[in-house]
Structure 1
Amino acid sequence: MSISAFEHPYLSGLVGDEETGAMFSASADIGAMLAFERALALAEGEAGVIPSAAAGLIADLCGVFEPDVVALRAGVARDGVVVPQLIKQLKAAAGSDAAQFVHLGATSQDVIDTSLMLRLKGVLTIFSSRLERLSEQFIQVGKNFGARPMMAHTRMQAALPISVADRLRSWSAPLERHRTRLQHQISALPIQFGGAAGNLDQFGPRASEVRRRLADHLGLADQVQWQSQRDGVVELADTLSLISGSLGKFGQDIALLAQMGEEIRLAGGGGSSAMAHKQNPVAAEALVTLARHNAVLVSGMHQSMVHEQERSGAAWTLEWLLLPPMAMATGASLRLASELVVKIQSLGRTDG
């Protein structure tokens, strides 16, 4: 049994999202870290920092290497990060001739932060695609019911008549803005490569070249080290909260419409153990919950910006506890919203 509802054996049936969760699995993290080490060896070989033969051997090894995960766990308990034990194992597998060139000039944070960027690129791409699909679904609802009248409500009180299209616009317009944000952020996701103190001192005048080649191999933006500058990571978290927040507004509106029962008809619904006649708006309620979940966690991400001096263990670890659940909540929100839209069988008044 998992302590996280996102991975729980049965609670994940509501709030889980396998596609997003896969990006935060141990295997995905290890794969991304090995991709960093492979790209680093190739970049250093191309820049003449290490022998090309050693670079090729390390690159090939990283493509097939399978670490001892039990030893990695013990290493994290001792070192606070997984990289020292991972590199120890990788050097042992590389052999005496190439071991000295494994991880040359890099530090643990370079590997871990770049792994995060690689995996977030996949996550944000998934979310962008889901936002596009959801927007298309709202367009279809508009085609079906957009001209119908419905009652506007301000401060929870009946106000004046509007059209279904007016309400749909309040649900769909933010999604287009969020997708634009995601597209920009995907293209700007950077490598982290600064070495022990952030200045790549071990490479001298070749530092910029190695970093550029590393970024090219990984398909990430070439950016000067940002190891203690966490505004970019926090901005990503803000976007996740914005997405789930907008979908929470959609869920809240659907739940209220279902409560009134006059202007919406949904297919299916959640059953009650005590009242067989009920069909609870489960997906809509979950969207509200997930929005509030992310609104709480995003404040913690802002706390993680306070990195003392050149590196913080405490603030950095806080990110590990907060960002993956935020991504999972956003993925689940997008999944649930898409499932909810297709359940709308009628929206607005049919009596004029």
Structure 2
Amino acid sequence: MTDLFSHPWFSGLFGDAEAQGIWSAERSLTHMLAFEAAYSRGLGAIGKIPANQADAAAAWIEQSAPGMDTLRAGTIADGLPVPALVQALRSDAGPLAPAIHTGTTSQDVMDTALALTLRETTNLLQARLSRLSEVLGDLSEKFGGRQIMGRTRMQVALPVSVGHRIETWRDPLRSYHQTLSDLRPRVECVQLAGPVGDGQTIGPSLHDLAKHIADALGLYVTDQSWHTTRDRVVEYADLLSHISGSLGKMGQDICLMAQQGVDEIRLSGGGTSSAMPHKQNPILAELLVTLARFNAVQVSGMHHAMVHEQERSGSAWALEWMILPTMAQTTARSLAAATTLCTQIISIGATPD
């Protein structure tokens, strides 16, 4: 079985086309080419090469599109796609070749592409957090004054308002929205540190060149290389797990509230059973629990991916590539599913006398 995010039928439940597009190979290649073009222009801006040569090299890069087969073969040989990408860009560039990639390194390219991907991911997640918060607010306004039985340790406790229960779902969303904004200057950063992370191949103009690239790409500048210091990326992964975890709590509550005999919530569009036609299964609520638990498992792998040896790691870095895109797509799907689930709520709690 292939992964459920792209599986022919399971992707209908687990997949998220918008998030998948953001993390696609095609989009990543666009970002890598954008870095290379901005880098060449930056070399001209700081006087490393003539400005006209820099502009011509950038224009050459922008119209180049190495085939995926080329990048695949290069990744098999080199462990990553950038050497093949650079070779393809330089091969027919003639006198422009020295203005392409000289002084930078593969990780600068890929990490800056990651920063651009995280910016798009944050835009998507914040939009979805805001929408879900609005939908929950509408539910609270409509049903918040009703009563349901509060339960502690899954046993009957004391009555609480529907509004109280909804607020436990809604409140974390506001802090997550703000935390995503706070993380932008830490993760949406140009990576420009050269082969061993100290910028020696670029020289004293390193900061000026980084600033030029940052301005061109709409990113931030950091004074510290993060080639092997991945705490900021792990912070982002932690937040992804927090978001999906809170949505999993909401999904678990709704599953329990929808149980026959409890009947504290009524949903439209429930899933059917092949053997028991009387059932209406809370599919999206269950999905939220599954996605929360999946991300909780993945985030430990991201902490393992922090352990880089010396100035660059092949194994730790590659582990990050395996995990982070899936976590981001899981979180995006969680938010979309939660919003759809909330629109399926017909009633919560008993109608007041």
Q: Give the TM-score taking structure 2 as reference length.
A: 0.97
The equivalent of 1:102 in structure 2 is 100
CA-to-aligned-CA distance 1:138-174 (integer Å, 9 cap, x gap)? 1100110000011101000010011001001100000
CA contact (8 A) 1:245 1:295 kept: yes
Q: Give the unaligned 5+ runs of structure 1.
A: none
Is 2:46 the counterpart of 1:66? no
CA-to-aligned-CA distance 1:12-71 (integer Å, 9 cap, x gap)? 100100000001111001000000001101111111111112211122122221102212
The equivalent of 1:258 in structure 2 is 258
- In structure 1, C-alpha distance between the alignment counterparts of 2:205 and 2:126, rounded to whole Å: 37
- The structural deviation recorded for 1:262 is 2.3
CA contact (8 A) 2:43 2:99 kept: no
Aligned to 1:160, which of 142, 158, 161? 158
CA-to-aligned-CA distance 1:180-239 (integer Å, 9 cap, x gap)? 111122344211110001111122221111111111111111012110100000000000
| Secondary structure in structure 2 of the residue aligned to 1:153 | strand
Q: Give the unaligned 5+ runs of structure 2.
A: none
CA-to-aligned-CA distance 1:61-117 (integer Å, 9 cap, x gap)? 2222110221211110110010000000001232x2110110011100000111111
The equivalent of 2:319 in structure 1 is 318
- In structure 2, C-alpha distance between the alignment counterparts of 1:261 and 1:8, rounded to whole Å: 35
The equivalent of 2:301 in structure 1 is 300
Within 5 A, what are the aligned runs for 1:116-155?
116-155=114-153
- In structure 2, C-alpha distance between the alignment counterparts of 1:147 and 1:334, rounded to whole Å: 26
Within 5 A, what are the aligned runs for 1:77-92?
77-92=76-91
Amino acid of the structure 2 residue aligned with 1:248:
G
Is 2:18 the counterpart of 1:19? yes
| Secondary structure in structure 2 of the residue aligned to 1:221 | coil
Is 2:167 the counterpart of 1:169? yes
- In structure 1, C-alpha distance between the alignment counterparts of 2:185 and 2:33, rounded to whole Å: 22
Within 5 A, what are the aligned runs for 1:236-247?
236-247=236-247
The equivalent of 1:217 in structure 2 is 216
The equivalent of 1:344 in structure 2 is 345
Amino acid of the structure 1 residue aligned with 2:229:
Q
Q: Give the TM-score taking structure 1 as reference length.
A: 0.97
Q: Matched residue pairs, number? A: 350
Q: Percent sequence identity over matched residues?
A: 47
The equivalent of 1:332 in structure 2 is 333
| Secondary structure in structure 1 of the residue aligned to 2:203 | helix
The equivalent of 1:233 in structure 2 is 233
- The structural deviation recorded for 1:351 is 5.0
- In structure 1, C-alpha distance between the alignment counterparts of 2:300 and 2:158, rounded to whole Å: 37
| Secondary structure in structure 2 of the residue aligned to 1:215 | helix
- In structure 2, C-alpha distance between the alignment counterparts of 1:45 and 1:348, rounded to whole Å: 66
CA contact (8 A) 1:262 1:349 kept: no
Pairwise CA RMSD of aligned residues?
Answer: 1.1
CA contact (8 A) 1:128 1:182 kept: yes
